[in-house]
Structure 1
Amino acid sequence: MSEQPVNFLSWNVRGLNCPDRRATVNETIAASSCHIVCLQETKLELVDQFTASFLGGSRLRNFAQRPASGTRGGMLMLWDDRVVDVTDITTTTFCLSAMVQVRASGSRFKITSVYGPTLSSLKEAFFTDLASQKPPSGELWLALGDFNQIYRARDKNKRNVNRRRINRFRSTLHECDLKEIHLQNRRFTWSNERNSPTLCKLDSFFCNAEWDLQFSTHILHALSSSLSDHCPLLLADDRGPRRPRSFKFENFWTSLPGFSDVVANAWNEHTHHTDPFRILHHKLQHTGAKLLRWSKGLFSKAKIMHHAALLVILHLDMAQDSRHLSVEELELRSRLKRRVIALAVLERARKKQCARISNLKEGDA
């Protein structure tokens, strides 16, 4: 088992050309506490450092890409270089692969991000490309992404399936010694979002036996489909992300109404300590806690609305796996998807305001 939990996020985002869509992707990545992110269908011919930093935030600072052809296709991989080292990056027609080494444990494995073709004429070339990525015997391998192909008839809610192609895909997976990592909370990962939708499980995580033994505590969950017709897939250690909490004073607090009153009331509260150092420690700790609660009350409403919208979308996605959504439910989901983008933009604007150049200079000083 790996000593350091490494969490993975895979998502067909249906394009990153729009700043509002990039803001929504950024919020999803930030909320997932993942260390490696693989995005498919970026529709970007070139991803620069600024765009990658916008998407990955301060944690996921490094990236690799397979450029889109015009506005078609494109893949992007982001990672946290404090947790993993990523080397030997290679790209093929349908794959973006790299070697990953976990810093804490030294565990090493190959990761392959996949964006399969939609055209039937390219399926055979895709299967051949995937098979060519198989690492040497004994090496750990994780393959993930939008395969644009089911490998079981039950992975589609309608009966018009191409069984010959299903068998060919299963044969390729067998040739690669890959087995599926079970998705816990969804049957399907893609919807054409019509009134009587076609639902398919096009997005998957596959691994070989060696990877499964090394990372045996990982569990795969689907997140809210948010802005895309594909839902993000999060493969995370079942112990949950390790997120140390520490107090951080925000410079912009001092310009907000009520700040002085919060500090004065907290600082002047009675303490039973008599030692001057303990008194000072108590006052600082108590004032910090009061400021955090005050700040959370000011800025949490947009976050609550954002996560509530994502939760409702996820439940509607799950309901759609087993029944047709009503007209009202479809309209609600459509409205919520638009709201998610708006709330993500609002949160991004707040973060941008918190990171003005003047504040950076004050911090440097």
Structure 2
Amino acid sequence: MVRNGWGDDNFGFEDIEATGRSGGILTIWDRSYFSVRESIKDRHFLVIYGHCCGSGIEFAIVNVYAPQSLTEKRRLWLELSNLIKQREVMWILMGDFNAAGAKLSKLDRILVCHKFLSNFPQASCIALPRDQSDHCPILLELSSMDFGPVPFKMFNSWLFRPGFNEVVIKANSEFKGYGAADSFLLNKLKFIKKRIRNWKAVNLSQEQVEIETIKNRMVDLDKKAERNELNGSEKAEWAKNSNRLTELEKMVTLDIKQKARIKWLIDGDENSRFFHGFVKNRIRKNHMNGLMINGVWSN
């Protein structure tokens, strides 16, 4: 029966048999894209643990058929909460949550964890037509739309990085243009922007290499200090590396803050994870999943 519905033999599945005419759960996956290593079955949920083929990203996918009883629902969510705490993977919970029982209300949902949203900020959830059923198919899409080249963005931290001013001054002096004033200015800005892009590609990649090199060297010095006291030159080297690392990471944090587009009440707040969350949230909110054209959804 599963093979007839899937269309070929390249699939795996786990199921929980129905009790009477309700309660059955079936999870099917394509073995070309997902590899399952373990499953957990309960009366009201089915969990499969595995990873995406190629990327190796680990997921826990939970297929839920929630009970109507509030007591049973509490037991269900307590068990799922305990499972989620035990595994550091990306969690996706989907199915019939029986969260509302009114006619034509949405019974089916997809819930994901913060780690999933952080890795897939442009993921979208689309409810497909329900036709004659009181349930509607839900599609979780991870692919992002290509809207062309990313617009050029100027970051304030570049003004404090060595070499930036020289690049702009040199590009400004070397530009040769002609035509009307507005066309001349437009072409000049494009010329300078290209030079800045080239500077950014080289400079920022060198900074990342320097950050990793400094961190590795400081780890080596810390390990040595645990065994023996560092000599004068080694202590001076550690202090120099520490100052340089602080300077480089401050530049990175300035970029993250600008991407987040929020104001800070206290200068020097270096919680980069906090600002990364704002950046990912903005990407998710601004993402366009599709358009409704003449009553037809198109993505």
Q: TM-score w.r.t. structure 2 length?
A: 0.45
**Which of the pair has the greater relative contact order for Cα pairs under 8 Å at 6+ separation?**
1
The higher radius of gyration belongs to: 2
